[in-house]
Structure 1
Amino acid sequence: MSSQQAPRRKPFTGKHMTLILVGGFGIVFGVNFLMAGLATSTFGGIVVENSYVASQHFNRWLDEAAKEKALGWKVDVERRADGHLAAALSGVPAYPTVKAVARHPLGRKDDIALTFDKHADGTYVSDKALPEGRWILRFDIEADGKSWRGEDQVEGLEVMGQPVP
């Protein structure tokens, strides 16, 4: 093959390099702005007011958690058909005070303070119905001068352990 028959290549110019740089950085910036927008719009996050002060209480919180675990108290929660929650307590002494705060996992709904009263079947039933959706319940139970805190999750698509059709 002779050199006269080979196709000629166009020279690589500054215009080509400019297009490559602008296109590459445009893609990077576009993806970054998209990801930043999605991150700020989908998760509210849980933030302490002052992380330094929170760090000073960390060991005390660990000690309290160990004491609470040693009590052996347990809570099993189910959503009833009317939207109220039924909490079955185990290992808890008689006549406890049962309270909880329902928090939405993504912070999109306001927290709901719940108080539980003893029902005829032995479970403790919430004073308010919980709206549909996923919720994290933070329990605070007091009995015999001792207190216990724990968490449980409630899914919005179950009623008394059975999926809602």
Structure 2
Amino acid sequence: MMARMTPDGRRVVKPFTGWHMTLILVAGFTVIIAVNVLMATFAVDTFGGIVVENSYVASQKFNGWLDEARREKALGWKLAVARRSDGRLAVTLTGAPADARLEAEARHPLGRLPDVPMAFARDADGLYVSDAVLPEGRWTLRLRVDDKGQLWRTERTVL
């Protein structure tokens, strides 16, 4: 029941009708639908793309990937990445032979920026320094070290 006052001070009570309930339901569902559309828009706009092209094929290769990971771990190589003031990356690689070749691909986590392929050259201090400048922001760096056929791969987040 709804009450209101008349100009002469009398209280007038109006009954709660079906129209009132209809307005409440429509307003409530409008809010729910608007929030769902907003959240779905955010989800679609921030999804970077396909995780794997074909999940069945990926599942068939999974055990092979695990074997590769065990072989790579047995090498005992370790890696640390730092961003230099000039925007290039400096990588410290320990345990690997001095003539190992290092290359990487920087991927933007949300896929909004194109991938950045990177090659590395060893400097006088023994650090591997990238040839390309990595734009500011968060990147996933997929590194690959190759020493005469021995491969070692890892991923690092660069901020």
Shift of 1:11: 3.2
TM-superposition CA deviations, 1:21-69 (whole Å, max 9, x none): 2112111101101111111223325521111111111121112112111
Q: Which residue of 2 aligns with 1:161?
A: none
Q: Which residue of 1 aligns with 2:93?
A: 89
Moved more, 11-20 or 92-101: 11-20
Shift of 1:150: 0.2
The equivalent position to 1:58 in structure 2, one of 37, 62, 72, is 62
**1:37-56 counterparts in 2 under 5 A?**
37-56=41-60
Q: Is the 8 A contact 1:116 1:124 kept in 2?
A: yes
How many residues are matched? 149
Q: Which residue of 2 aligns with 1:67?
A: 71
Q: Which residue of 2 aligns with 1:123?
A: 127
Q: Which residue of 1 aligns with 2:107?
A: 103
Normalising to structure 2: TM-score of the pair? Answer: 0.86
Q: Structure 1, unaligned stretches of length 5 or more? A: 1-6, 156-165
Q: Supply the distance in 2 between the matched residues of 1:59 and 1:131 (Cα, whole angstroms).
A: 36
Q: Structure 2, unaligned stretches of length 5 or more? A: 1-10
Q: Which has the higher contact order (CA 8 A, sep 6+)?
A: 1
Q: Which amino acid aligns with 1:49?
A: E
**1:147-158 counterparts in 2 under 5 A?**
147-155=151-159
Q: Which residue of 1 aligns with 2:118?
A: 114
Q: Which runs of 4+ in 1 moved over 2 A?
A: 7-13
Identity, in percent, stands at: 60
Shift of 1:154: 1.4
TM-superposition CA deviations, 1:101-134 (whole Å, max 9, x none): 0111221111011111111111111111111111
Q: Which residue of 1 aligns with 2:5?
A: none
Shift of 1:9: 5.5
Q: Is the 8 A contact 1:93 1:144 kept in 2?
A: no
